[in-house]
Amino acid sequence: MADILKAKFMEDMTEIISNMYRLGWDERNGGNVSYMLSEDMLALYSDSLKATRTFQTGFYTPSLSGKYFLVTGSGKYFRNVRREPEDCLGIIKIEEDGKRASLLWGYSGGGRCTSELPAHLMSHAARLEVDPENRVVMHCHPTNTLAMNYVHPLDEREVTRTLWQMCTECIVVFPDGVGVLPWMLCGTNSIGEATALKMKEFRAVIWGMHGIYCSGKTLDETFGLVETIEKAAQIYMLTAHLPRINTIKDEEMKSLAEFFGVEYRLDFLNL
């Protein structure tokens, strides 16, 4: 029987989560990750997968029926995931009714999915409408991105344009910009619905005074999206109080996007 703990998707998940903790993006149990797995990815480990309990997801997502997800657990500290993956992570399957999920592996201590599961699944459903290859949703609290919320207008055009100005690569890495939500109560369907609506337009959505949601095809791509936004926010926070002598001009950002052949938000530039 193949050891599911040695599966590439499991090793990748624990590695990414460990790096998120190391970088200070996920203090304590602050943050959550969900990774959509294919049947092919799980085929070698069928002996390890057995439905132990079924639970209500709290909303209806028929487009995700039959889908499998590797999900961080509620209240689980990210620093413990590498050492105790079977306790901190779980593999679930969305049932055919689109309202329930079955736990197939993990949460060995009797745990459950992150309280943000509704927001994750809603975002997966929204992103799959835009990009059928989307597999990852990642929520975390990057320090500088969060700090920027307190000193910069929470307007997605202005936030995006400021971040694009901070690093030459930014408009290439997230040409679709960054969505922004005001502060909302977390763990509710309301914030999940609002995030999913933004996810139809953006791969990254800032939760005002809370953190960020990002999505992508792979764990690396999604992590890299957070990483790039956080680096740009750090440069902004290091320089915002100083006189601006140089900047990347809007015409230069346009040239960058067109040179690299990415579809960008032209309406977010002052041209």
How far apart are the C-alpha atoms of 111 and 142, rounded to whole Å?
26
- Do 104 and 138 belong to one domain? no
- Do 97 and 223 belong to one domain? no
- Do 42 and 138 belong to one domain? no
- Residue where one domain finishes, among candidates 114, 130, 155: 114
How far apart are the C-alpha atoms of 92 and 67, rounded to whole Å?
8
Domain that holds residue 70: 1-114
Q: pLDDT averaged over the chain?
A: 96
- Do 28 and 56 belong to one domain? yes
Judge whether residue 5 has pLDDT over 70. yes
- Do 109 and 228 belong to one domain? no
pLDDT band, very low/low/confident/very high, at 1 (cuts 50, 70, 90): low
Q: Which secondary structure element, helix H or strand E, spans residue 199, and what is its range? A: helix 189-199
Q: Give pLDDT, residue 172.
A: 98
For 14-34, b/e burial (b = at least 16 CB within 10 A) is: bebbbebbeeebbeebbbbbb
Q: Give pLDDT, residue 65.
A: 96
- Do 104 and 133 belong to one domain? no
- Residue where one domain finishes, among candidates 57, 81, 114: 114
User: Within 13 Å and on the Cβ side, how many CA atoms surround 86?
Assistant: 11
Judge whether 116 counts as a catalytic residue.
yes
- Residue 23: give its domain's CATH number: 3.40.225.10
- Residue where one domain finishes, among candidates 79, 114, 149: 114
pLDDT band, very low/low/confident/very high, at 109 (cuts 50, 70, 90): confident
Question: Stretch 40-44: mean pLDDT, rounded?
Answer: 95
How far apart are the C-alpha atoms of 14 and 219, rounded to whole Å?
11
- Do 161 and 237 belong to one domain? yes
With beta carbons less than 8 A apart as the criterion, state whether 147 and 225 touch. Answer: no
Dihedral (Cα; 263, 131, 122, 171), 10-degree rounding: -20
- Do 110 and 139 belong to one domain? no
Instruction: Specify which residues 70 forms β-bridges with.
Output: 35, 91
For 97, other C-beta atoms within 10 Å of its C-beta total 10
Token digits for 99? 């309202």
Judge whether residue 2 has pLDDT over 90. no
- Do 82 and 161 belong to one domain? no
Catalytic residue from among 116, 156, 227, 230? 116
Q: What is the pLDDT of residues 46-81, one digit of tens each?
A: 999 999 999 999 888 899 999 999 999 999 999 999
Judge whether residue 119 has pLDDT over 90. yes
Structural domains counted in the chain: 2
Residue type, position 13, single letter: M
- Do 83 and 97 belong to one domain? yes
How far apart are the C-alpha atoms of 123 and 119, rounded to whole Å?
6
Judge whether residue 137 has pLDDT over 90. yes
Q: What is the CA radius of gyration of the chain?
A: 19
- Do 100 and 146 belong to one domain? no
Strands 204-207 and 179-181: parallel
- The closest of 102, 96, 87, 116 to 56, measured between CA atoms, is 102
How far apart are the C-alpha atoms of 179 and 169, rounded to whole Å?
18
Q: What is the pLDDT of residues 198-242, one digit of tens each?
A: 999 999 999 999 999 999 999 999 999 999 999 999 999 999 999
Judge whether residue 169 has pLDDT over 90. yes
Q: Give pLDDT, residue 264.
A: 97
- Do 108 and 122 belong to one domain? no
